[in-house]
Structure 1
Amino acid sequence: MRRVGLRDGAGDVDGTRIAGAMEQIRHRGRATLHDRLHRVRLSMGLAVQAGLAAGLSWLAAHELLNNPQPVFAPISAVGTLAVSVGQRFKRTVELIVGVAIGVALGDLLIFLLGTGPWQLGLVVFAAIILTVFAGASVAIVIQAAATAVLIVTLSPSTENLELPRFVDAFVGGGIALLVTAVLLPLNPLRVINRAARPALDLLAAQLDSTADGLRERDRNKVQQSLERLRNNKEELATFTEAIEGAKETAMLSPARWHRRDELTHYGEAAEPIDRAMRNTGTLIRRSVTLIEDEEAIPEPMPDSVAHLAESVRMLKHEFAVGEEPEKARERALRAVSEAGRAYKEGVGFSGNVVIAQVRTTASDLLVASGLSQEEANRLVRQSFGDREQAGGQAEPESAPKRPTAPPVG
């Protein structure tokens, strides 16, 4: 009976562990589903645009240009829309240039050498080498090679393929631009807001988690925040790509020309937000070391990090509703003020670096809000107060070193 009791007790412990593991799996599944649905929502506009462009390009090539099999027109339209937004006009030009090179090489080598498998291989080789030597983009290289393949393989069975292929590429790319610029232009601010949300939410959440970890001296919590922030490349890439796409839409679409001024904030915010991400990574990494070395953590230090998180959230909200980001600026400066209080109470080496990074990240957020770097640095110095050591030349907040005192902005 005693052994059975021991087994039952062990079973209870194992059951608790298994239940905890299953709950983590279910949570991960819900998070994954949420991420996938978010990606679907982001891609909905692109899917509608691509479907419309494919149908219209086929109709134009078939009915207006009397092409009985206008395969290349919808392919070109979808290919133009499928590339990174912000590069569609460039993509259309690349399609046409690539097709022209492929047609010229394919016709020339067919005339000189005939058709066959080795001729096909030679045509593709020549198309790639020629376009690479000319300094063409990857898209032109691929398009030239693909067109050369089609010319060589289809020419024996399809007469006069060259001109329809070239015209189809022009029609498909042109209609793709027509759809995005005139018929179905996306709201550039809405696109940017959706794309910015994951990056800014990630930054705010990890700053909050770091603040909690500092209060609790929980090294693992801060380390987890660092690991999550390191996986932010996709969010930042999506944000930057959305900005470029919005600029392109505002440039090409008459219906969106009035949005150009509103896009200025976002266009200028991408680089300082990227810097804020990287400087926050340094802040969190030093917070881990600070806890490991059992350095002093003055009460204002976690508060300053929490204020940074709130500044990021306010920046996201004020950009989304088109307001001047005054609240985000005020919260960033409050973070600097709390960091100054922490410095006055006394910190160790790593704590000193954390305070320096609070200042630097706050400066980045101020620049992202629309202030100049000089104005941001001045406000940071003013908010930090007269707690800095005298002497030495001022350092810009955007490029701090590791002194024994926080760098002067």
Structure 2
Amino acid sequence: MAASGGPAGPGWAGPGGRPGARAGAHRLDAALARGRLSLRARRARLRSKAWQILQCSVAAAVAWFVARDLLGHPDPFFAPVAAFLGLGTSYGQRLRRVAEVTVGVAVGVLVGDLFVLWLGSGAWQIGLVVALALSVGFLLDAGQLLVNQAAVQGIIVATIVADPGEALVRWTDALVGGGVALVAATVVPAAPLRRPREQAAAVVGKVAGLLRAAADVVVAGEVEPALDLLADARSTDHLVRELQAAADEGLAVVASSPFRVRHGPTVRRVADLVTPLDRALRSTRVLTRQAAVTAYRHQRVPPSYAALLHDLADAAELVGEELRADRMAVAARGALLAVGRASAEVERTSDLSVEVVLAQVRSVVVDLLQVTGMGTLEATDALPPARA
């Protein structure tokens, strides 16, 4: 279509308008829309990280309090550092990260403290501290995080000379920070466990919205709404990325918190929906593109196709409602199968773009049937062949 000046072509404005001005207006609108979307995405990301920010802040403060006020260490710099580095701002492999950071910081601080205690501080001492800290890390067969922390903390210790009698106090502070991080890592709210199914419902809701808009486009055959639909469909990639991130985060929470283990089966079921939902959204984007092409070319689309799109949108909304209610959307299977049967009976045309709309309707039905728990082959076989 790009070469023929269709909806994907540069500067296309449709019949009856000035291509440059109309295309420029569309590009400006698209840029403003992307800016608003980006701002919303950043705000949503900040909200999603609110708990981790609070948790890291509290853990750092608690580690300082324990080391300074309970253990009497004058300046327990390494306690809050180890607590923060261990927790981080993501749930992925959190317990392993806490263990690696704690051991790495402890090794680096211990090696640095011993060298400063015996040999003093200077350029060659720092070189030996780094070499020894890295060697110990590799001998422990540790990950890169542990090795790096051992070297970095060794450098810090070797350059910040402790007061007499306090050489090994910093090593204790590192252990305190790691212990606080380990305890804090097991305390996880329920929000990361709800987010995967909420994001899955958002993806299905977007599919339903695009299908309804496509139905309106094929009925009205107007170019401007077709362009708007096309731009909307092309801005949906982030939804699947956010769904994958939410699923990964939920799985990480289940793996890191003993208090959330019972939620494991539910989170894993939602994680398994990422692939069919991704395919459903991709199929819907292809469908909307062909719907825009029919509007641009003024091709006749049978009324039954618009009815099919509306029915499929209704079924998709039912899938979203089931997901939000933390169910496997089995209740929506009947509505999807009805759309699949209807797609086999509608009239056929000789226009390729119109035929692609029908083909993508059937593809979306198959993808959403998998969201209800059906296998790929089972969902495909559930649709009767389209009539010739």
What TM-score do you get using the length of structure 1 for normalisation?
0.68
Mark the CA change 1:24 to 1:105 in structure 2 (over 3 Å): closer, same or farther. same
Please identify, of 345-354 and 253-262, the stretch whose mean Cα deviation from structure 2 is larger: 253-262
1:307-322 alignment to 2 at 5 Å? 307-322=311-326
Question: Would you say 1:176 and 2:184 are equivalent positions?
Answer: yes
Cα deviations across residues 216-265 of structure 1 (Å, max 9, x unaligned)?
22344344334334333443333222223323333444543433333343
- Please give the alpha-carbon distance, in whole angstroms, between the structure 2 residues aligned to 1:102 and 1:234: 41
Secondary structure (helix, strand or coil) at the match of 1:179 reads coil
What's the counterpart of residue 224 of structure 1? 228
What's the counterpart of residue 346 of structure 1? 349
Match of residue 370, structure 2, among 367, 371, 385: 367
Match of residue 333, structure 1, among 334, 337, 348: 337
Question: Would you say 1:287 and 2:295 are equivalent positions?
Answer: no
What's the counterpart of residue 15 of structure 2? none
Secondary structure (helix, strand or coil) at the match of 2:273 reads helix
User: 1:44 Cα deviation (Å)?
Assistant: 4.0
What's the counterpart of residue 151 of structure 1? 157
Cα deviations across residues 115-155 of structure 1 (Å, max 9, x unaligned)?
668987998899999999x9987755764564344234324
Amino acid at match of 1:171: G
Identity %: 27
User: 1:169 Cα deviation (Å)?
Assistant: 4.8
- Please give the alpha-carbon distance, in whole angstroms, between the structure 1 residues aligned to 2:230 and 2:130: 47
What's the counterpart of residue 247 of structure 1? 251
Cα deviations across residues 159-204 of structure 1 (Å, max 9, x unaligned)?
3476236414522431321333xxxx32554333444454444333
Mark the CA change 1:197 to 1:319 in structure 2 (over 3 Å): closer, same or farther. closer
- Please give the alpha-carbon distance, in whole angstroms, between the structure 2 residues aligned to 1:108 and 1:81: 27
2:222–2:295 Cα contact (<8 Å) kept: yes
- Please give the alpha-carbon distance, in whole angstroms, between the structure 1 residues aligned to 2:369 and 2:58: 41
What's the counterpart of residue 70 of structure 1? 76
Question: Would you say 1:387 and 2:369 are equivalent positions?
Answer: no
What's the counterpart of residue 355 of structure 1? 358
Cα deviations across residues 40-68 of structure 1 (Å, max 9, x unaligned)?
55344434433443333333444555543
2:273–2:371 Cα contact (<8 Å) kept: yes
What's the counterpart of residue 90 of structure 2? 84
What's the counterpart of residue 59 of structure 1? 65
Amino acid at match of 1:93: A
User: 1:347 Cα deviation (Å)?
Assistant: 4.6
For structure 1, which runs of at least 5 residues remain unmatched after alignment?
1-22, 390-409
Mark the CA change 1:74 to 1:277 in structure 2 (over 3 Å): closer, same or farther. farther
Mark the CA change 1:100 to 1:47 in structure 2 (over 3 Å): closer, same or farther. closer
- Please give the alpha-carbon distance, in whole angstroms, between the structure 1 residues aligned to 2:147 and 2:287: 43
1:251-266 alignment to 2 at 5 Å? 251-266=255-270
2:233–2:288 Cα contact (<8 Å) kept: no
1:272–1:364 Cα contact (<8 Å) kept: yes
Secondary structure (helix, strand or coil) at the match of 2:246 reads helix
2:94–2:256 Cα contact (<8 Å) kept: no
User: 1:318 Cα deviation (Å)?
Assistant: 0.8
Match of residue 297, structure 1, among 295, 298, 301: 301
2:86–2:99 Cα contact (<8 Å) kept: no
- Please give the alpha-carbon distance, in whole angstroms, between the structure 2 residues aligned to 1:131 and 1:308: 57
What's the counterpart of residue 49 of structure 1? 55
What's the counterpart of residue 267 of structure 1? 271
Amino acid at match of 2:386: R
- Please give the alpha-carbon distance, in whole angstroms, between the structure 2 residues aligned to 1:117 and 1:276: 60
- Please give the alpha-carbon distance, in whole angstroms, between the structure 1 residues aligned to 2:240 and 2:146: 27
Secondary structure (helix, strand or coil) at the match of 2:167 reads coil
For structure 2, which runs of at least 5 residues remain unmatched after alignment?
1-28
1:188–1:250 Cα contact (<8 Å) kept: no
- Give the superposed CA RMSD: 4.4
User: 1:39 Cα deviation (Å)?
Assistant: 4.8
- Please give the alpha-carbon distance, in whole angstroms, between the structure 1 residues aligned to 2:301 and 2:192: 44
1:103–1:151 Cα contact (<8 Å) kept: yes
1:45–1:186 Cα contact (<8 Å) kept: no
- Please give the alpha-carbon distance, in whole angstroms, between the structure 1 residues aligned to 2:251 and 2:58: 22
User: 1:373 Cα deviation (Å)?
Assistant: 1.5
Please identify, of 313-322 and 31-40, the stretch whose mean Cα deviation from structure 2 is larger: 31-40
Mark the CA change 1:101 to 1:73 in structure 2 (over 3 Å): closer, same or farther. closer
Amino acid at match of 1:261: P
1:75–1:172 Cα contact (<8 Å) kept: no
Mark the CA change 1:99 to 1:40 in structure 2 (over 3 Å): closer, same or farther. closer
**How many residue pairs align between the two structures?**
361
- Please give the alpha-carbon distance, in whole angstroms, between the structure 2 residues aligned to 1:299 and 1:53: 62
Please identify, of 107-116 and 94-103, the stretch whose mean Cα deviation from structure 2 is larger: 107-116
Secondary structure (helix, strand or coil) at the match of 1:86 reads coil
- Please give the alpha-carbon distance, in whole angstroms, between the structure 2 residues aligned to 1:215 and 1:128: 68
